[in-house]
């Protein structure tokens, strides 16, 4: 084995690349901060807590963020913990999330689903979960805010199954919640971690107490502490014990293979704000989460050695990577774009020359960067699982591009995801129609919004689609700043979009009041629906059609 291969094996083995999926306010920022407490942060792409008033520089981009008090940027955060290198892909959060949030999940090998114990599965979690399921990546669940009055833990597990359709296996189990939250019991080690508030935010080590199973008389004693009145402790203990017994009988046993295939979610309980249960979670997570996954090709190598549908293992010494996200105007002093690249195999070194499969040309990766707050840091080397930014002054990169040392290969792309917001665009100055067409074309290629048209209508009256409504604002802003076109966005009353395969007659749908037949950029038929009911009507009545939530693979 060559020296590179040996190093690759070592570097791949110690890497974990994941994203946190959650509904706003579940505690993602808090958990991220607490995870960082345990690791020395190597690179922070974008401030973790994007508090607007803490920004020292503002680009046009940041201006939108500032006005809305949100963070648009997907940041990549790398830290080292116990010898592991952890890449945490932060997904844009808050009310308006965008297609980028979904795309980021295409670069993650696992997801941590963060749930507010008082609220259970919320809409945004559900949408993000669907993307993880589509990819079949492992999903770990952290049930947060146990220090607050919570729903019954068994109910929460039931909800995971009923709403998300995923079975779960609790790794820890809570003893009480809210004012009566005493801690969590580790079902594997039989240790109890007694709840302590972390008022100093230091993430100090909490000593776990070893039990000889739940029947250990010490258990009840420990719950009572030095209190005379043991009534409350007894009540908590009885409830805890009966829940645990129920789990033993009716719950799923831990099965790593099912975890790896996204069929079983290991569940942990804690309180991110109190840095409680976080370390335990992190320790099990790095042990159980997968190393960087192999990537499947859709185009074979020129040599024929790698066929379409083959997997490139991360330990292959040949360099491969793909672009999953493009962000424009990150630097106020340059009107540039940064393409985010996930390394899939081989060793990345600055100034390396790689093949750009789509453009069929060689490109030199001279400006690989990671971000530290608003600062850019040049990256000298990186390994599979890592994500780096490429400054793209010439607009050479698109979402889904493969950059590789292996001539010809292309990875299966990053799909377009079904939008839920729709609009038409109105130009204020009709003389600028050409610029508008060009702007829409380029910005949709970049993935800012999706564009649909009526078949045979050319560029006329496009319908814009977005996963998050904020994407329209970004589009408007960039059309004005980069193409000199002022526009008005008129929201359309559609709420669902499906790509349709099968013998479709689009007119049939367009004739109906509640649906519209269009085509996407690649001429794939899409249907827009005004309500859940309209979508259900179509799926129930047109059994010969398939209604897809992601775009079918691009036609050759
Ligand atoms: P997000 O990124 O998912 O939107 O959530 P974020 O971390 O900002 O947390 C949302 C709110 O929930 C914050 O309160 C945060 O302090 C609180 N929180 C997070 N984890 C826990 C927990 O384990 N227990 C309790 N009780 N609260 C938790 P906030 O009042 O909105 O903001 P802040 O003033 O505390 O920053």
pLDDT at 315: 97
Give CA angle at 295 (89, 376), nearest 5°: 35
**d(Cα 168, Cα 161) in Å, to the nearest integer?**
8
**Cα 149 to averaged position of ligand 1 atoms, centre (Å):** 14
Neighbours of 521 (CB within 10 A): 16
Give me the chain's average pLDDT, please. Answer: 87
Look up tokens 């779960």; give the residue.
168
**Cα 48 to averaged position of ligand 1 atoms, centre (Å):** 13
Strand-pair category, 139-144 with 110-116: parallel
pLDDT at 556: 45
pLDDT at 73: 46
Looking at the chain, the whole-number percentage of residues with pLDDT higher than 70 is 88
* DSSP code per residue over 14-48: TEEEEEEEE-TTSSHHHHHHHHHHHSEEEEEBS-S
Question: Is 323:357 a contact under the CB 8 Å cutoff?
Answer: no
pLDDT at 457 over 80: no
Structure tokens at 125: 């979690």
Q: Choose among 532, 467, 549, 534: nearest CA to 124.
A: 467
Residue 35 confidence class, pLDDT cut points 50, 70, 90: confident
Lateral strand order in the sheet of 487-492:
450-452, 463-466, 421-427, 487-492
Residue 26 CB–ligand 1 contact under 6 Å: yes
Q: Pocket of ligand 1, candidates 21, 27, 112: which has the most ligand atoms within 8 Å of its Cβ, to mutate?
A: 27
pLDDT at 246: 93
**Cα 31 to averaged position of ligand 1 atoms, centre (Å):** 9
Nearest alpha carbon, ligand 1 atom 36? 30
pLDDT at 337 over 60: yes
* DSSP code per residue over 192-206: EEE----TT------
Neighbours of 519 (CB within 10 A): 18
Q: Fill in the DSSP letter of residue 285.
A: H
pLDDT (mean) for 477-485? 90
Of 34-48, 196-210, 463-477, highest mean pLDDT: 463-477
Strand-pair category, 496-501 with 209-210: unpaired
Q: What is the Cα 416 distance to its own chain's centre?
A: 15
Q: Which domains does the chain have, with CATH numbers?
A: 13-188+251-288 (3.40.50.300), 302-411 (2.40.30.10), 421-548 (3.30.70.3280)
Structure tokens at 86: 């952890």
pLDDT (mean) for 167-184? 94
Structure tokens at 370: 């990671």
Residue 413 confidence class, pLDDT cut points 50, 70, 90: confident
Nearest alpha carbon, ligand 1 atom 19? 27
pLDDT at 481 over 50: yes
Residue 148 CB–ligand 1 contact under 6 Å: yes
Model confidence, pTM: 0.89
Q: Fill in the DSSP letter of residue 160.
A: I
Nearest alpha carbon, ligand 1 atom 10? 25
Per the model's pLDDT, the better-predicted residue between 201 and 64 turns out to be: 201
User: Bridge partners of 434?
Assistant: none
pLDDT tens for 507-542 read 778 888 899 999 998 899 999 999 999 999 999 999
Residue 93 confidence class, pLDDT cut points 50, 70, 90: low
Look at the alpha carbons of 132, 327, 521, 124 in this order and tell me if their dihedral is positive or negative.
positive
pLDDT tens for 241-288 read 999 999 988 899 999 999 999 999 999 999 999 999 999 999 999 999
* DSSP code per residue over 309-343: T-EE-TT-SS-EEEEEEEEE--STTS--EEEEEEE
- Using CA atoms, how far residue 77 sits from 27, 32, 74, 203, 369, in Å, is 17, 9, 10, 19, 13
Residue 252 CB–ligand 1 contact under 6 Å: no
Report helix, strand or coil for 233: helix
HSE-CB for 528 with a 13 A CA cutoff: 26
**d(Cα 464, Cα 479) in Å, to the nearest integer?**
14
* DSSP code per residue over 451-499: EEB-TT-TTSS-EEEESSTHHHHHHHHHHHHHH---EEEEEES--EEEE
Q: Which phi and psi angles does 260 have, rounded to 5°?
A: -65, -30
pLDDT tens for 279-295 read 999 999 999 999 999 99
Residue 30 CB–ligand 1 contact under 6 Å: yes
Look up tokens 């009988």; give the residue.
249
pLDDT at 232: 83
pLDDT at 204: 66
pLDDT at 75: 67
pLDDT at 142 over 60: yes
**d(Cα 549, Cα 417) in Å, to the nearest integer?**
6
**Cα 38 to averaged position of ligand 1 atoms, centre (Å):** 19
pLDDT at 510: 81
pLDDT at 39 over 90: no
**d(Cα 207, Cα 199) in Å, to the nearest integer?**
17
Residue 144 CB–ligand 1 contact under 6 Å: yes
pLDDT at 152: 95
pLDDT at 357 over 50: yes
**d(Cα 278, Cα 282) in Å, to the nearest integer?**
6
**Cα 45 to averaged position of ligand 1 atoms, centre (Å):** 21
Nearest alpha carbon, ligand 1 atom 33? 30
Q: Choose among 492, 391, 487: nearest CA to 439.
A: 487
Q: Fill in the DSSP letter of residue 107.
A: T
pLDDT at 185: 94
pLDDT tens for 295-304 read 999 999 999 9
**d(Cα 111, Cα 133) in Å, to the nearest integer?**
10
Q: Choose among 291, 275, 154, 105: nearest CA to 206.
A: 275
Residue 482 confidence class, pLDDT cut points 50, 70, 90: confident
Q: Which phi and psi angles does 283 have, rounded to 5°?
A: -60, -45
- Using CA atoms, how far residue 359 sits from 228, 296, 328, 398, 475, in Å, is 76, 20, 21, 10, 26
pLDDT at 47: 41
pLDDT (mean) for 86-99? 76
């Amino acid at each position: 084995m060559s020296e590179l291969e040996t190093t690759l094996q070592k570097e791949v083995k110690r890497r974990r690349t994941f994203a946190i999926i959650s509904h706003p306010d579940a505690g993602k920022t808090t958990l991220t901060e607490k995870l960082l407490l345990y690791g020395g942060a190597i690179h922070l792409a974008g401030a973790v807590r994007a508090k607007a008033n803490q920004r020292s520089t503002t680009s046009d981009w940041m201006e939108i963020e500032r006005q809305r008090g949100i963070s648009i940027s997907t940041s990549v955060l790398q830290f080292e913990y116990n010898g592991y290198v952890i890449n945490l892909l932060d997904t844009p959060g808050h009310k308006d999330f965008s297609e980028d949030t979904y795309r980021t999940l295409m670069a993650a090998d696992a997801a941590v689903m963060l749930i507010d114990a008082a609220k259970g599965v919320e809409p945004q979690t559900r949408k993000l979960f669907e993307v993880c399921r589509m990819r079949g990546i492992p999903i770990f669940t952290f049930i947060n805010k146990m220090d607050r009055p919570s729903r019954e833990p068994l109910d929460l597990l039931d909800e995971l199954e009923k709403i998300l359709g995923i079975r779960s296996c609790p790794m820890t189990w809570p003893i009480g919640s809210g004012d009566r939250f005493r801690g969590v019991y580790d079902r594997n080690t039989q240790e109890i971690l007694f709840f302590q508030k972390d008022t100093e935010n230091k993430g100090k080590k909490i000593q776990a107490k070893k039990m000889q199973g739940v029947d250990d008389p010490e258990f009840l004693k420990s719950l009572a502490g030095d209190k005379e009145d043991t009534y409350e402790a007894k009540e908590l203990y009885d409830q805890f014990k009966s829940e645990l017994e129920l789990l033993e009988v009716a719950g799923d046993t831990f099965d790593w293979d099912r975890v790896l295939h996204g069929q079983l979610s290991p569940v942990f309980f804690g309180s991110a704000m109190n840095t409680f249960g976080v370390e335990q979670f992190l320790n099990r997570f790095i042990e159980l989460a997968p190393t960087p996954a192999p990537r499947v090709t859709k185009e074979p190598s020129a040599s024929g050695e790698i066929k379409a549908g083959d997997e490139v293992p991360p330990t292959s010494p040949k360099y491969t990577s793909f672009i999953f996200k493009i962000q424009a105007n990150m630097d106020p002093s340059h009107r540039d774009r940064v393409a985010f690249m996930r390394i899939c195999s081989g060793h990345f070194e600055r100034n390396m020359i790689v093949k750009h499969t789509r453009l069929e040309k060689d490109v030199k990766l001279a400006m690989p960067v990671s971000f530290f707050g608003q600062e850019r840091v040049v990256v000298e080397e990186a390994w599979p699982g890592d994500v780096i930014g490429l400054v793209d002054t010439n607009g050479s990169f698109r979402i889904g591009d493969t950059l590789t040392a292996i001539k010809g290969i292309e990875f299966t792309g990053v799909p377009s995801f079904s939008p839920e917001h729709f609009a038409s665009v109105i130009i204020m100055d009709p003389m600028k129609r050409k610029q508008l067409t060009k702007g829409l074309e380029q910005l949709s290629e970049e993935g800012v919004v999706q564009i649909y048209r009526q078949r045979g209508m050319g560029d006329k009256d496009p319908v814009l689609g977005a996963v998050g409504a904020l994407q329209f604002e970004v589009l408007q802003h960039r059309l004005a700043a980069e193409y000199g076109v002022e526009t008005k966005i008129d929201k359309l009353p559609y709420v669902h979009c499906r790509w349709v395969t099968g013998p479709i007659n689009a007119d049939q749908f367009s004739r109906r009041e509640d649906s519209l037949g269009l085509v996407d950029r690649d001429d794939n038929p899409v249907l827009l629906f005004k309500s859940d009911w309209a979508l259900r009507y179509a799926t129930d009545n047109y059994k010969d059609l398939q209604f897809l939530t992601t775009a079918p693979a691009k036609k050759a």
